[in-house]
Amino acid sequence: MKKRDFSQLRSMWSEFRRIKFGMVGLALLGMFVVVVLIEPLIVPFPDAATRWRDMTYWVDNPRNAKPAWVNWFTSKDYAPSARIQSDNIVSGEFGAGKLYQAELPYKYSWDKAPSDVTLRMNVTGNARYEAEFIRPDGLSVTYQKTSQGAGTRDLRISVAQNLQPQLYQFAGKYEDPRVMQSTSASTINPLAVLFSQAEKGALLSGSKPLDGTYTVRVKVVAADATSSLNEAELIVAGGVQGVLGTDNMKRDLWSGLIAGTKWALIIGLLTSFIAVVVGVIYGVTSGYYGGFVDSLMNRIYEIFSSVPLLPILIVMSAVFKPSIWIMIAMMCIFFWVGPVRTVRSIALQIKEASYIEAARGLGASNRRILMRHMIPQLVPYAFASMALSVPGAIVYEASISLIGLGDATRVTWGQILQAAFSSGAVLQGIWWWVVPPGVAIALMGMTFAFIGFAMDTILNPKLKTR
């Protein structure tokens, strides 16, 4: 029995292979599965799935950065994000403490300055530090500060936030005094000043970009023996970043999208699978037995199909701890009604076929007739129905997320979309925040539709051209 089932599957596969769109669907599904499997290898932020809402995780990223490949299509290139780690920190005696020195070179050759450049230093104990930003033309800007405290911690010097006064002064040297009167340190774009020619107009971001190697020279004076500089890193938050850019919370959207893939698969497949299996069995049973059983089952069906799902989901999410599993369970409880009516009418039709009568004449039990003769005929429909309810389940999940009742511990496509809508991404033209999750949902739906239609062609022999 089992062995024959395999041979049946094999012959089904050999037929499936000949259907092009089926293979496309299968390839897409394969792609999704591969993406889920190799997720840690292809995302720059492997903890995206678990720390999606943790602001500190994303702190070094640019805000609303475009995807990196946008540069291929624009005449003026945006600086991409980059990280420069200092490979050698030179240390020497300095009084009671130590002097640490490091140099971090950054090669700049773009048209539009990055949105921020941050120097991150990992220090222990008390330290006085100084960062000198040396431009390719030899000019430099310096920032100094003392940090006191115990333990190891990260110190950050952000050009955008901390170097505004210095850069205002720096550029002011070339400006008209009148211009200086009408502006202040807080109104300029310090990054644009840092990365452009030192000339008149630089203050208002009007001058040409200055290409070349910028060097950040770091000096840290550790006050005592217990203090030290452990690490220094230059983080360039570009105007473009990664495969899909970032959102307004600085989150890397590519990482989020990939992390959402497995949830989309789980929510979509699990919900539609359970719902369709239940629905098909329910519909077939109702249609096959008929009479009183049918009437009773119809009434139950009507109750379930007339109860609006969303309010129930909202109440349930409020009552229970918002969890993706509870959400899937709730969707199953209401999604199963989807295929029932069609399945029942198909069952009523099949029931009249004379091969059902023939099977009864042979002594087949009701169970056998249902399982062997009726349900297999519904497989194509079931697949189509599953394919159709996969996107539905994903969208419902997104809707719940929209009212803030989603499972906050997971990243889903719905939640990415919801965040985009609630922060007006469409109005602001942040298309890379909206389009990819939308396309992903559509692609996932298409995958299952293609596979469903291909299965239909195979399982319905009359469609076969032979």
Partner 1 sequence: MSEPILVAENLTKWFPVKRNLTQVMKGNRTWVRAVDRISFTINKGEIFGLVGESGCGKTTTGKLIMKLLEITDGTLEMKGENATHLRGAALEKYRREVQMIFQDPYSSMNPRFTVRDVLMEPLEIHKVGKDAKEREVWVREILDEVKLSPPDEFLVRHPHMLSGGQRQRAATARTLMLSPSIIVADEPVSMIDLSTRAEILHMMRQLQREMGLTYVYITHDLSTARYFTDRLAVMYLGKIIEMGVAGSVIDRTLHPYTKALIAAVCEPVSGKVNRIKDVPIKGEIPAATNIPPGCRFHPRCLYAVEECWQEEEPTLDDIGGGHLVACRRWAEIERLGAAARTSEASLGTRKSSFAPSA
Nearer to partner 1, 225 or 358 (CB): 358
C-alpha closest to that of 167 among 137, 136, 198, 138: 198
Task: Tell me, rounded to whole angstroms, the distance of Cα 307 from its chain centroid.
Answer: 32
Nearer to partner 1, 102 or 374 (CB): 374
Region from 83-91, 185-193, 319-327, 353-361 binding partner 1, contact rule CB under 8 A: 353-361
Binder among 35, 36, 326, 364 for partner 1 (CB under 8 A): 364
Backbone angles phi, psi at 246, to 5 degrees: -130, 165
Binder among 376, 404, 424, 429 for partner 1 (CB under 8 A): 376
Nearer to partner 1, 12 or 403 (CB): 12
Residue 228 and residue 221: Cα distance in Å, rounded? Answer: 8
Q: Using an 8 Å Cβ cutoff, are 389 and 275 in contact? A: yes
Alpha helices (H) along 38-107 = 39-42, 48-51
Closest contact distance (angstroms) between CB of 460 and partner 1 is 8
Q: Are strands 90-94 and 152-158 parallel, antiparallel or unpaired?
A: unpaired
**Partner residues linked to 121 by β-bridges:** 155, 232
Q: Binding of partner 1 at residue 359 (CB under 8 A)? A: yes
Show the beta-strand stretches assigned E in 191-346. 212-222, 228-237
Binder among 112, 250, 373, 410 for partner 1 (CB under 8 A): 373
Binder among 345, 372, 422, 439 for partner 1 (CB under 8 A): 372
Region from 35-43, 180-188, 255-263, 456-464 binding partner 1, contact rule CB under 8 A: 456-464
Q: Binding of partner 1 at residue 1 (CB under 8 A)? A: yes
Q: Binding of partner 1 at residue 355 (CB under 8 A)? A: yes
Region from 23-31, 60-68, 330-338, 455-463 binding partner 1, contact rule CB under 8 A: 455-463
Axis-axis angle for helices 324-335, 337-352 (nearest 10): 40
Binder among 37, 150, 357, 426 for partner 1 (CB under 8 A): 357
Q: Binding of partner 1 at residue 95 (CB under 8 A)? A: no
Binder among 130, 273, 360, 423 for partner 1 (CB under 8 A): 360
Region from 60-68, 292-300, 360-368, 392-400 binding partner 1, contact rule CB under 8 A: 360-368
Q: Binding of partner 1 at residue 3 (CB under 8 A)? A: yes
Residue 94 and residue 361: Cα distance in Å, rounded? Answer: 101
Per this entry, what is the length of the chain?
466
Region from 129-137, 139-147, 169-177, 349-357 binding partner 1, contact rule CB under 8 A: 349-357
Q: Binding of partner 1 at residue 461 (CB under 8 A)? A: yes
Nearer to partner 1, 5 or 93 (CB): 5
Q: Using an 8 Å Cβ cutoff, are 271 and 389 in contact? A: yes
Q: Give the sign of the dihedral formed by CA 304, CA 309, CA 313, CA 316.
A: negative
Specify the residue for token string 């012959």: 11
Residue 68 and residue 79: Cα distance in Å, rounded? Answer: 9
Q: Binding of partner 1 at residue 462 (CB under 8 A)? A: yes
Q: Binding of partner 1 at residue 291 (CB under 8 A)? A: no
Tokens of 315: 């109440």
Distances (CA, A) of 188 to 174, 207, 240: 14, 13, 21
The residues of the shown chain that bind partner 1, judged by CB under 8 A, are: 1, 3-4, 353-355, 357-365, 368, 372-373, 376-377, 459, 461-462, 466
